[in-house]
């Protein structure tokens, strides 16, 4: 299933301007579009192979350590070097992923507690209530600044890990993470629900993430999407097929499929997580409720900060042809894949980055379909003359924020409606330009 021509729009002036879009056509129907582009090849073609691990973390502002690692794996495989991850690689990926989780939770999480107009239609779910207040930005910044995992070192020694573990126990869970995780493995939904109910209290002793998850549960209600997990990382033949598609199909990296179908990747698709591969029926899958896509990030923090945290995330490399290599790793938002082809003299001839966002927000994927249906069924809040069906309920902005962040906490979604007279109206930033990322971090791409 190749991306339709309408699925990808012209290149923006810079990667920082890239976004996913819900756009209303003049006749009233809605279109899913993207201004995300394949920047890696443009940057790297003709450069020395060892420049990829150095330059890509600067291009992709989020999860830079994961991009460095995937690039190094891809280049090594293309150069004919032994494809094996070291203990240092594992520790670097562990720390980088922990940092990204904690930054998104503390810097972006408060946005999910903002209220918006609540729709009453079937796709909008229950009306959003204000929920417990988020701490002030100064308090949040000070708490995060004291986290031992937020230093500059790529890896941490045992003493720093112990300090980080104590910080996670106090500020993330409010209890022993190992005990929380042991209960999660038995019944994740019950553990997350009880813990987030505890988080509905406003007392200062309640850890911030519990209050955050309580708000997310309120926003998303009973919304559920049976997971369609991406499974390629454990299958060398599937990885070779992926490399072939990246090499031969124009635009594949912007709208990837596996077996001709969209898939999704995130903390809920970890290779090491037996719950991710549950044999339960689709609707009964433990991660089917959308709010559980948020909760599983907390379990990821518990795993990564634990004694075996360096071995929780999978990574690897594979030679996929002459002077071609694939490097991959599980990172904060799912499976990251880099593919490189080297020229005769070792310079980079072609490069592709396949990010989790492109899997999770494929034009024919479950997330894009739900957002299109929600936009079509609801008027836009704040329009001088509301778009959408006559008398339609207002789109629940808070729910849309939480829905988008369930699949990717870093993606920027913009909504552009049409006035009845045909003039485009972009929703203002505080209304429907749904940005799951913190406003102070303009480069939200990966």
**What pLDDT digit, counting tens, does each position of 155-187 carry?**
888 999 999 999 999 999 999 999 999 999 999
Residue 330 lies in a domain: yes
pLDDT value for 151: 82
CA-CA distance, 92 to 329, in Å (whole number)? 11
Contacts within 8 Å (CB) and 24+ apart, 279-284: 282/226, 282/227, 283/224, 283/226
319: domain CATH number? 1.10.645
Q: Which residues contact 44 (CB under 8 A, 6 or more apart)?
A: 51, 52, 55, 56, 348, 351
Percent of the chain beyond pLDDT 70?
79
Q: Specify which residues 264 forms β-bridges with.
A: 229
Q: Specify which residues 339 forms β-bridges with.
A: 326, 352
CB 36 within 8 A of CB 357: yes
Q: Is 4 helix (H, G, I), strand (E, B) or coil?
A: coil
Structural domains counted in the chain: 1
Token readout for 445 is 């791409």
pLDDT value for 123: 31
Q: How many CA atoms lie within 13 A of 207 on its CB side?
A: 20
145-154, 417-426, 435-444: least confident range: 435-444
Q: Mean pLDDT across the chain, nearest whole number?
A: 83
CB 261 within 8 A of CB 228: yes
Q: Any idea which residue has 């037996």 for tokens?
A: 274
Residue 310 lies in a domain: yes
Residue 253 lies in a domain: yes
Structural domain of 393: 5-426
Nearest to 72, CA basis, from 333, 263, 325: 325
Q: Any idea which residue has 């870093």 for tokens?
A: 410
Residue 375 lies in a domain: yes
pLDDT value for 206: 79
Whole-structure pTM value: 0.87
Residue 79 lies in a domain: yes
Task: Note the pLDDT tens digit of each residue in 194-252.
Answer: 998 876 665 556 789 999 999 999 999 999 999 999 989 999 999 999 999 999 999 99
Residue 434 lies in a domain: no
> Does the pLDDT at position 441 exceed 50?
no
Burial per residue of 192-229, b for 16 or more beta-carbon CB atoms within 10 angstroms, e otherwise: bbebbebbbeeeeebbbbbbbbbbbbbbbbebbbebbb
What value does the mean pLDDT take over residues 434-439? 35
Residue 344 lies in a domain: yes
Q: Any idea which residue has 């810097």 for tokens?
A: 107
Residue 175 lies in a domain: yes
> In angstroms, what CA-CA distances link 215 with 55, 197, 411?
38, 10, 20
56-70, 148-162, 411-425: least confident range: 411-425
Nearest to 367, CA basis, from 446, 300, 434: 434
Q: What are phi and psi of 331, to 5 degrees?
A: -130, -165
> Does the pLDDT at position 13 exceed 70?
no
What value does the mean pLDDT take over residues 87-100? 94
Nearest to 336, CA basis, from 313, 315, 356, 312: 356
């Amino acid at each position: 299933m190749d991306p339709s021509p309408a699925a990808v729009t012209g290149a923006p002036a810079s990667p920082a301007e890239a976004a996913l879009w819900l756009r209303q056509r003049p006749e009233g129907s809605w279109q899913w579009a993207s201004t995300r582009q394949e920047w890696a090849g443009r940057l790297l073609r003709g450069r020395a192979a060892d420049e990829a691990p150095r330059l890509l973390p600067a291009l992709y502002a989020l999860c830079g350590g994961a991009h460095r690692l995937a690039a190094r794996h891809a280049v090594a495989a293309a150069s004919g070097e032994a494809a094996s991850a070291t203990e240092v690689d594992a520790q670097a990926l562990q720390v980088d992923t922990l940092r990204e989780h904690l930054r998104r939770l503390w810097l972006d999480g408060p946005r999910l507690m903002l209220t918006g107009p609540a729709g009453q239609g079937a796709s909008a779910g229950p009306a959003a209530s204000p929920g417990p207040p988020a701490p002030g930005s100064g308090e949040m910044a000070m708490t995060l600044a004291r986290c031992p995992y937020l230093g500059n070192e790529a890896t941490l020694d045992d003493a720093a890990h112990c300090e980080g573990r104590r910080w996670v126990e106090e500020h993330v869970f409010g209890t022993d993470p190992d005990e929380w995780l042991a209960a999660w493995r038995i019944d994740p939904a019950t553990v997350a629900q009880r813990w987030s109910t505890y988080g509905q209290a406003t007392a200062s002793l309640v850890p911030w993430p519990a209050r955050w998850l309580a708000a997310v549960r309120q926003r998303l209600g009973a919304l559920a999407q049976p997971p369609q997990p991406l499974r390629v990382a454990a299958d060398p033949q599937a990885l070779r097929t992926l490399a072939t598609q990246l090499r031969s199909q124009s635009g594949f990296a912007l709208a990837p499929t596996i077996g001709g179908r969209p898939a999704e990747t995130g903390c809920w698709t970890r290779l090491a997580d037996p719950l991710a591969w549950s044999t339960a029926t689709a609707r009964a899958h433990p991660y089917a409720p959308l709010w559980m896509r948020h909760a599983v990030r907390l379990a990821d923090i518990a795993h990564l900060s634990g004694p075996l945290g360096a071995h929780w995330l999978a990574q690897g490399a594979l030679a996929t042809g002459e002077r071609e290599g694939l490097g991959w790793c599980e990172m904060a938002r799912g499976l990251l894949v880099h593919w490189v082809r080297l020229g005769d003299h070792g310079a980079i001839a072609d490069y592709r980055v396949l990010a989790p966002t492109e899997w999770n927000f494929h034009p024919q994927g479950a997330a894009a379909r739900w957002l299109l249906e929600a936009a079509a069924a609801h008027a836009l809040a704040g329009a001088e003359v509301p778009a959408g069906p006559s008398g339609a309920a207002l789109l629940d902005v808070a729910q849309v924020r939480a829905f988008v962040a369930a699949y990717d906490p870093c993606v920027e979604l913009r909504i552009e409606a049409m006035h009845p007279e045909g003039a485009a109206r972009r929703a203002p930033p505080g209304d429907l330009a749904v940005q799951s990322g913190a406003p102070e971090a303009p480069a939200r791409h990966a």
